[in-house]
Amino acid sequence: MPIFSKEELYSTKGHMRTSSLFVEKAALERKPFLSLRAQHQTETGISLRDYFIHYTTNDPTETVFAEEVFGEWRFWENLLKCKWFTPYVEDWRREADIKRKAMAFQAILKEVREDGRSSFTAAKYLIEEPWKDKTKATKAKTKETTEKAYSSISSDVERLKEQGLLQ
């Protein structure tokens, strides 16, 4: 069952409401109940932004969000066609993407901390920082840092090779 009913989302004539849903955009002919801002920034409407980020952090397709909030994909698709709405949803998508990446980093760090099967690859990924836009100077500094880190453990690596524990 969707969060919002058809009676809230459509006019009495069956037309889809768009800007009239939002307290920031409505012309008060029909009481708006949604807000484009975060809940902590407003007390006048339910934050569509918060719902969006909650649902799309784990589902970037936005399908679950559309179905849970509006009851159908079509309503969300039509709302996305509104030019005034585009800057808001782009900002929300960026925020959900950042939260998704933060969750991925936590998983990588957990793998390194718990010395899992992929801990070496995870650690290498964190050291190389491929998500950063790198200049030649930055790449050289990263390489230097990596070589210094390796040199501090190279004697251990050599010992393990001599013992036949590494190849």
Q: Taking 80 as the threshold, does the pLDDT of residue 143 lie above it?
A: no
Quick: pLDDT tens for 121-136. 777 777 777 777 767 7
Q: How confident is the model at residue 161 (pLDDT cuts 50, 70, 90)?
A: confident
Task: Assess contact for 128 and 142: CB atoms under 8 A.
Answer: yes
Quick: pLDDT tens for 43-94. 678 899 999 999 999 999 999 999 999 999 999 999 999 999 999 999 999 9
The residue ranges of every structural domain in the chain are 6-94, 132-167
pLDDT at 67: 96
Greater model confidence, 117 or 84: 84
* Cα 147 versus chain centre, distance: 33
What percentage of the chain reaches a pLDDT higher than 90? 37
Q: What is the dihedral of CA 37, 43, 47, 50, to 10 degrees?
A: 80
Average pLDDT, the chain: 83
Q: Which of 151, 128, 152, 150 is nearest to 141 (CA)?
A: 128
Q: Taking 80 as the threshold, does the pLDDT of residue 96 lie above it?
A: yes
Q: Taking 70 as the threshold, does the pLDDT of residue 28 lie above it?
A: no
**E strands, the chain, in order:** 34-35, 46-47
> What is the rounded average pLDDT of the residues 89-117?
86
Q: CA–CA separation, 37 vs 13, rounded Å?
A: 29
Q: CA–CA separation, 52 vs 38, rounded Å?
A: 10
Residue type, 153: I
Q: CA–CA separation, 32 vs 18, rounded Å?
A: 10
pLDDT at 140: 75
